[in-house]
Structure 1
Amino acid sequence: MATYTHFGKQPDVLKHLVLCEVLRRESSSIYVETNSACAIYPMKQTPEQQYGIYHFLEKVAEGDNQDLKDSTYFQLEYTEMQGGCYLGSPALAMKIAGRKAQRFIFFDLEKSALDNVALFAERADLLPSVHLYHTDSLEGVIALLPSLRKDTFVHIDPYEIDKKGTSGLTYLDLLIEATRLGMKCLLWYGFMTLNDKSYLNSYIMTRLKDAGIKEYTCVELIMKSIRQDTVLYNPGIIGSGILATNLSQQSKKIILDYSDMLVRLYQNATYKDKDGSLYRDKPFN
């Protein structure tokens, strides 16, 4: 098993809930993921996972929000978690797109993670349409973009969206190039302090403006405990954002609506007996 430990934490709930609902509504022949990690994970019930996926599933199951109960993410994870496992984004994408997609393209630096994806694809009878790249995804996906169809869906999930690769480009540059080619893009990013958030917001807004990209959707979910330059306690990530381009109006609305639902779902949440409530920001919409 790969060494990843991020799965099932609260930012995963935002990222994967949105990913599932958007994928259901966007018609794409090719799915590309820059940082796939594993398709399926055995759960460990850590405090971070209790605050994340366990809180989500429990509150949705006992609550009256029918939209969340009917969500693909809840339905898939609730079923899988009965057996003590969590579905990562590769599995969710394969479950949703299935044979409607001609190709699934997954990048990761950990071979064991790609082996995990391959095993899941084989069990789902999708292995012939799955292409695995054990290499740097920033350079790899940028090189691959010109050969892909316009209706490709690109899921960009690196955490550090501003870190330059050997070519001098960043993951935000990757989103910009894919957007220019007409592809549907969903980018996730994280931050730990308000200073980090301010820097990333300025970086994203400046780069999009310089690239002439005016149509996009951005939303952030942030713990109310966030501070300017210190971390009081750490459940994995303090704040995270979704940046989307070339999506339908329905998908744009989904991103905003479901992030609002998560704020309400987490209004009385705790992490290790500390405040786990969230607020939503639309930094430059």
Structure 2
Amino acid sequence: MATYTHYGKQADVFKHLVLCEVLQIEKPQIYIETNSASAIYQMAHTPEQQYGIYHFLKKAREEKPLRESPYYKLESTEMAKGNYLGSPALAMNILAERTSQYLLFDIEKDALENIESYAKQVKLESHIQTCHTDSLEGVIKLLPSLSQSSFLHIDPYEIDKKGISGTTYLDVLIQATQAGMKCLLWYGFMTENDKIHINQYIVNRLEEENIKEYTCIELIMNSIRKDTIPCNPGILGSGILATNLSQEANKAIWDYSDMLVCMYSDTKYKSYDGRLYRDNIK
């Protein structure tokens, strides 16, 4: 578990807040996650976590839609015990036995053992299948066997890096989208130049594949710079790309991103400007 240090940071809040709401709306029969990491973590009260989950929980109490969100309810309960729930645990709590199968990929064996242990705690061990393999290749092979009732959560950070077969995680999303599956892809970047590159890559590839209906929303820290990294709260910018979701789920992405911008309107990370702005990528 020591490999993973991203949990509870601001980008995690954005990703997991949206993921929880979308899963509650869509209720898939099969849930697949490409880069699962662990199900549960012990909090460390780092400055990055203070800027992330601790700030969120404090501010969310003042806003009814956030206070009533599944993410807030789950994390506030677990944070009182000193823990943070990762995406596998959040998915299990929201979907429970209604989802017949959870397919969770990771290259770290300790993370998968953590997931298996948590699944036993919530009595879902018979629904869980952990996959100790490279998810880029593993999910591509799995796609033909999946139905349209599947939900694919793609969480790699780098979505343009090619694997052994020459495919990228955006290619995985494209193939799953064309097969009719619901997809949610998270990605990150650290400079404005990185953002420009990844935006062009997304728009061009989706246009090449004639995928016109999608939602792509980014939250970016005001402190981001063109080609330097002034600070590191975890990620300076991150985006969520969604395909084949219902109108209600797409609206939730817009609504929650707007609420987070408002929530961070007077915030600092250490001595840096911690405010966020939103961008819509089309």
Q: TM-score range by the shorter chain?
A: over 0.9
Match of 1:182 in 2: 180
1:222 match: secondary structure:
strand
Shift of 1:2: 4.2
Which of 154, 157, 161 is matched with 1:156 structurally? 154
How many Å separate the matches in 2 of 1:278 and 1:249? Answer: 25
2:216 match: secondary structure:
strand
Q: Is 1:2–1:38's contact at 8 Å kept on the other side of the alignment? A: no
How many Å separate the matches in 2 of 1:126 and 1:174? Answer: 27
Shift of 1:283: 2.0
How many Å separate the matches in 2 of 1:75 and 1:102? Answer: 24
How many Å separate the matches in 2 of 1:46 and 1:242? Answer: 25
Match of 2:143 in 1: 145
Query: Identity of counterpart residues, as a percentage?
Result: 63
What TM-score do you get using the length of structure 1 for normalisation? 0.98
Per-residue CA shift, 1:4-58, capped at 9, x if unaligned? Answer: 0000000000000000000000031000000000000000000000000000001
1:78 aligns with 2:89: no
What TM-score do you get using the length of structure 2 for normalisation? 0.99
1:249 aligns with 2:232: no
Per-residue CA shift, 1:112-157, capped at 9, x if unaligned? Answer: 0000000000111000110010000000001001111111000000
Match of 1:122 in 2: 120
1:228 aligns with 2:226: yes
One-letter code aligned to 1:219 = I
One-letter code aligned to 1:230 = T
One-letter code aligned to 1:282 = N
One-letter code aligned to 1:28 = P
1:36 aligns with 2:52: no
Q: Is 1:29–1:103's contact at 8 Å kept on the other side of the alignment? A: yes
Alignment of structure 1 residues 19-98 onto 2, 5 Å:
19-61=19-61, 63=62, 65-98=63-96
One-letter code aligned to 1:19 = L
1:113 match: secondary structure:
helix
How many Å separate the matches in 1 of 2:71 and 2:256? Answer: 11
Per-residue CA shift, 1:174-208, capped at 9, x if unaligned? Answer: 00000000000000000001100000000000000
How many Å separate the matches in 2 of 1:151 and 1:66? Answer: 31
How many Å separate the matches in 1 of 2:4 and 2:206? Answer: 31
One-letter code aligned to 1:275 = D
Match of 1:12 in 2: 12
Q: Is 1:2–1:113's contact at 8 Å kept on the other side of the alignment? A: no
Shift of 1:233: 1.0
1:279 match: secondary structure:
strand
Q: Which moved more, 1:265-274 or 1:89-98?
A: 265-274
Shift of 1:273: 2.8
- RMSD, aligned CA: 0.6
How many Å separate the matches in 1 of 2:198 and 2:48? Answer: 24
How many Å separate the matches in 2 of 1:174 and 1:142? Answer: 6
One-letter code aligned to 2:102 = F
Shift of 1:231: 1.0
How many Å separate the matches in 1 of 2:274 and 2:99? Answer: 38
Match of 2:275 in 1: 277
How many Å separate the matches in 2 of 1:258 and 1:275? Answer: 21
2:4 match: secondary structure:
coil
Say how many residue pairs are matched.
Answer: 282
Unaligned runs of 5+ in 1: none
How many Å separate the matches in 2 of 1:17 and 1:227? Answer: 26
1:219 aligns with 2:206: no
1:268 match: secondary structure:
coil
2:173 match: secondary structure:
helix
How many Å separate the matches in 1 of 2:146 and 2:211? Answer: 20
Shift of 1:96: 0.3
Which of 183, 194, 197 is matched with 1:196 structurally? 194
Shift of 1:3: 1.5
2:256 match: secondary structure:
helix
One-letter code aligned to 1:24 = Q
